[in-house]
Amino acid sequence: MRTLFLLLLVCSITVGGYAQRTDVALTGGGYFAASNPLDLGVAWAIEGAAAHELVAVPMVSLSAELPIAGSFSSSIPSLSGTSIARSYTSLFITPGLRVRLAPSFPISPYISAGLGYGRFNRRFFDGTTSVDGTFAFDIGGGLDLQVLPLVSFRAEVRDFNSGGIGLQSLALGRQNNLFVTAGIALRF
């Protein structure tokens, strides 16, 4: 009986040491193509992210992160009567790192960066579609506000820099895709 008690105690301490090292979040908001010479308007966006803490010291933690963000249909204006496409959607998957300040405090800011893949699906006026994949990197930041012991409200801004939908900015042929979202994060 004593051996069983010691075994359970060791297991609970080990599990407790790993508790709350992982978080998952679901956020929604708006998508903006920021560095594009055309005004592509705003589209609805959704982002899911999972992160696992790698290293932590009292006021800073470093986590591996996997954000997956997508936008719904964005309209594309026509240029002097030339129809480029009717609309497009985007998807970004950019695994990377997140640095969180004051991870155990009720309000915790963070910054993140990653490298990965961007995909644009254009819908033309005749109903056909074209899909383009591209290298993408992201940089972003946000704030978690703890509302319950394992639940936080999250607000975030993330810039996915990528090749584009054929309408890239003149500088470097790249497009800044801003996602401004808010939602819920769960820690376990």
Q: How many CB atoms lie within 10 A of CB 126?
A: 7
Asked whether residue 70 is domain-assigned, the answer is yes
What pLDDT sits at residue 1?
55
pTM (2 d.p.): 0.80
- Give residue 104's domain range: 21-187
What pLDDT sits at residue 123?
81
Residue 180 burial (C-beta neighbours within 10 Å; 0-12, 13-18, 19+)? middle
Asked whether residue 2 is domain-assigned, the answer is no
CATH code of the domain in which 103 resides: 2.40.160.20
What pLDDT sits at residue 37?
53
pLDDT tens per residue across span 81-132: 445 566 778 899 999 999 999 998 999 999 999 999 999 888 877 778 878 8
Sign of CA dihedral 82, 85, 86, 91: negative
Q: What is the dihedral of CA 94, 97, 101, 107, to 10 degrees?
A: 30
What pLDDT sits at residue 176?
84
Give the angle 46-50-54 at the CA atoms, nearest 5°: 150
Asked whether residue 136 is domain-assigned, the answer is yes
Cβ–Cβ < 8 Å for 92, 118 = yes
Which residues have CB under 8 Å from 6's CB, separation 6+?
none
Residues of the chain with pLDDT under 70: 1-20, 34-41, 75-86, 164-173
Question: Measured between alpha carbons, how far is 134 from 121 in angstroms, rounded to an integer?
Answer: 12
Asked whether residue 5 is domain-assigned, the answer is no
Phi, psi of 38 (to 5 degrees): -95, 150
What pLDDT sits at residue 11?
47
Considering its fold, how many domains does the chain have in total?
1
Residue 142 burial (C-beta neighbours within 10 Å; 0-12, 13-18, 19+)? buried
DSSP state letter for 41: -
What pLDDT sits at residue 73?
80
Asked whether residue 3 is domain-assigned, the answer is no
